[in-house]
Amino acid sequence: MLKSQKQPPGRIFLLSPADLSGVRGRLILNEHAPFELAARLRKQGLPLGELFSFVSGLYFRGKLAYARAFARAPVGVPGISVITTCRGLLPPERPITPIELREMTAVPIEPLDLRYRAPLRHDVRMISELAPEGCEIVLLGSIATAKYVEPLLEILGERLLFPAEFVGRGDLSRGGLLLRCVSAGTELSYTPVAGALCRGPRPPALPCPGASTPRY
């Protein structure tokens, strides 16, 4: 897990989004939902990071916590950007209204859909132009499908990296791994997405603290 002593001139993270079509996505958009988070969404909107953490649970919470712990944003470049279905890249602090959330829910993450691809390519191109040479651009998300990899690689090429330890893990395992890294202050190792092994043998389960049976 340990990285070399030589530090790059910056490190930024691109976070894959939460699946808004699931049970929690529908729940928080329910106009009659009584819980506090849904009420805040209706009244004033919710920060994107908090919203996606509720919808996705452990995996997105892990990605966001890890990115906040290890991002080193160069001047003029956001350290953390979240991929969205139709709004390109947004910072996790950006408030999202119910109307915007419904618009996002209506657009699939499909590389051939210009509603998704066009704003994403625009924002990624800006990051590519602003990030200095040698700055690490790390995708915290799956590379096993083309939905993120294809539009990102088209612009970033060899600059696009991902945690090598993600290979073979499911979403829950990745989330648990990221949260453990944050607690330990230990960073993962990054490797280029281009030409990477997308799938591999399942790694050993992560131990659950205080229990004899692994959870992840």
In this prediction, residue 188 carries a pLDDT of 97
pLDDT number for residue 22? 87
Given this model, what pLDDT does residue 173 score? 94
Query: In this structure, what are the phi and psi dihedrals at residue 160, rounded to the nearest 5 degrees?
Result: -80, 120
Spacing of C-alpha 121 from chain mean position: 16
Q: Look at residue 148 in the predicted model and tell me its pLDDT.
A: 93
Per-residue pLDDT for 214 more than 60? no
pLDDT single digits (tens) 4-30:
456 778 999 999 999 998 899 999 999
Res 209 pLDDT > 90: no
- Averaged pLDDT of the chain: 89
How many angstroms separate the first and last alpha carbons of the chain?
18
- Cα torsion at 116, 121, 122, 124 (round to 10°)? 120
Can you tell me which residue has the tokens 């490190």? 11
61-107 pLDDT per residue, tens: 999 999 999 999 999 999 999 999 999 999 999 999 999 999 999 99
Residue 131 has which token pair? 């990030």
Region of 13 please: left (phi>0), alpha (psi -120 to 50) or beta.
beta
Query: The whole model's pTM is what?
Result: 0.87
